[in-house]
A and B are shown apart, each in its own frame.
Chain A
Amino acid sequence: EIVLTQSPATLSLSPGERATLSCRASQSVSSYLAWYQQKPGQAPRLLIYDASNRATGIPARFSGSGSGTDFTLTISSLEPEDFAVYYCQQRSNWPLITFGQGTRLEIK
């Protein structure tokens, strides 16, 4: 079973700073990696798919990179609305889909 490990668990930064979130897979997932943002009381929102493609309507300050087992979500300059929990998700043959445990991005 493919396990996704996200780090750090919590990231404390200030608006305007750069955020770098990591997601590591226990085995290769090729580029089948997506990132989601979730705010309290809301459903997750797709940010990045296929490791590096921004979803419709996602600001350019969000970018994704990586392939194989190591992936990164970067937020170039944090806006107040970016403080939330971020999840990565992979798709493979088995199990079909798994999520990481999440990274909480909080205001410093």
Chain B
Amino acid sequence: QITLKESGPTLVKPTQTLTLTCTFSGFSLSTSGVGVGWIRQPPGKALEWLALIYWDDDKRYSPSLKSRLTITKDTSKNQVVLTMTNMDPVDTATYYCAHSVYAKFFDYWGQGTLVTVSS
């Protein structure tokens, strides 16, 4: 059974760096084709893909946010970490991590974590 869970701060101040951790079980991020992605959703708005890391440590980012994002993995801990620098109130959103196969689709999702950016 594949499960994923996001963790991190619920409130960050403008200009701070956000660090989110996705802890997963039921699969290995060293298996060929497997990836873990991050997707966010501002309140009442659409989904936005942020980043994805593949089993071979290849990393892809949304072009519009690439300069602010870093995604890493710790295969031994079954974790993927996303950092986003220079947070702004417009970054207020629910952040999801999700399992992917060759990045074609996301078949398992975490419950999401709401991050509010406010002073």
B-contacting residues, A1-59, CB 8 Å: 1, 32, 34, 36, 38, 43-46, 49-50, 55-56
Question: A45 → chain B, closest Cβ, in Å?
Answer: 8
The answer to whether B106 and A46 touch across the interface, beta carbons within 8 angstroms, is yes
Count residues of B near A (Cβ-Cβ below 8 Å): 22
Which one, B15-23, B25-33, B41-49, B79-87, is touching chain A? B41-49
Other-chain residue from B62, B102, B105 in contact with A89 (beta carbon distance below 8 A): B105
Question: What is the interface residue range for chain A against chain B?
Answer: 20 to 34
Residues of A within 8 A of B104 (CB): 32, 34, 49-50, 91
Tell me if B107 counts as interface (CB < 8 A to partner A). yes
Residues of B within 8 A of A (CB): 37, 39, 46-49, 52, 60, 62-63, 96, 98, 102-107, 109-112
Q: List 15 A-B contacts (CB under 8 A).
A: A34-B105, A43-B96, A44-B47, A44-B96, A44-B109, A49-B104, A89-B49, A91-B104, A96-B103, A97-B60, A97-B103, A98-B49, A99-B39, A99-B46, A99-B47
